[in-house]
């Protein structure tokens, strides 16, 4: 079942990428007592993810925070080391990189896709969401192959 607005995020293990290496974090702990702009990409370093999706949140970070967002986070079915390097190369110090290496979080949300045709296996769908204290307040899921509704601009318009 796919998560919807009003649902509480499911419990899943993620890895927070840090300069010292990945740190395990439970989704319930990460999203507790704060407003988070979360976006998911099918893969770090992939074309649309690197050229459009992540940069939209880097560019709009100050505006999102001015509208009440406490933290911005990116997630992908990649390991914590890949997520850390992707964030570093993108200049995204304002964005927490949450690795979902086994797709546990994406599966629990009901937002996986099969990218086997591209040699990538199970991946997260592209989406953005606004989460307040673990509850989904906005959800913007892209159609396969699209990048139209999940950028930072959409979340800004919803705040």
Burial of 6 (0-12, 13-18, 19+ CB in 10 A): exposed
Rounded to an integer, what distance in angstroms lies between the CA atom of residue 141 and that of residue 1?
14
1, part of any domain: no
Domain of residue 82, CATH code? 3.40.30.10
Q: What is the pLDDT of residues 63-101, one digit of tens each?
A: 999 999 999 999 999 888 988 988 888 777 889 999 998
Asked whether 42 and 120 are in contact (CB, 8 A), the reply is yes
> pTM for this one?
0.90
b (16+ CB within 10 A) / e for 62-76:
eebeeeebebbbbbb
Q: Check if 46 is active-site.
A: no
Please state, for a pLDDT cut of 90, what percent of the chain lies above it. 59
Which residue segment(s) compose the domain that 135 sits in?
A: 13-158
Average pLDDT, the chain: 88
The CB density around residue 111, as the number of other CB atoms within 10 Å, is 20
Confidence at residue 43, expressed as pLDDT on a 0 to 100 scale:
74
6, part of any domain: no
Q: From first to last of its 159 residues, what are the pLDDT tens digits of the chain?
A: 689 999 999 999 999 998 889 999 999 999 999 999 999 988 776 656 556 778 889 999 999 999 999 999 999 998 889 889 888 887 778 899 999 989 999 999 998 766 556 656 466 778 999 999 999 999 999 888 788 899 999 999 999
5, part of any domain: no
Catalytic residue among 3, 40, 49, 83: 49
2, part of any domain: no
122, part of any domain: yes
What total number of domains does the chain contain? Answer: 1
């Amino acid at each position: 079942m796919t998560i919807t607005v009003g649902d509480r995020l499911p419990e899943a293990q993620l890895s927070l990428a840090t300069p010292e290496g990945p740190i395990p974090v439970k989704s319930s702990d990460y999203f507790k007592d704060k407003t988070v702009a979360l976006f998911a990409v099918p893969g770090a370093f992939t074309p649309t993810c690197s050229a459009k999706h992540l940069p939209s949140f880097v560019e709009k970070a100050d505006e999102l925070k001015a509208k009440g967002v406490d933290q911005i986070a990116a997630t992908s079915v990649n390991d914590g080391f890949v997520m850390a390097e992707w964030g570093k190369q993108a200049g995204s110090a304002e964005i927490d990189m949450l690795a979902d290496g086994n797709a546990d979080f994406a599966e629990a949300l009901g937002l996986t896709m099969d990218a086997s045709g591209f040699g990538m296996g199970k991946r997260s769908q592209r989406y953005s969401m606004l989460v307040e204290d673990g509850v989904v307040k906005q959800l913007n899921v892209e159609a396969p192959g699209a990048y139209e509704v999940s950028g930072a601009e959409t979340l800004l318009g919803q705040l």
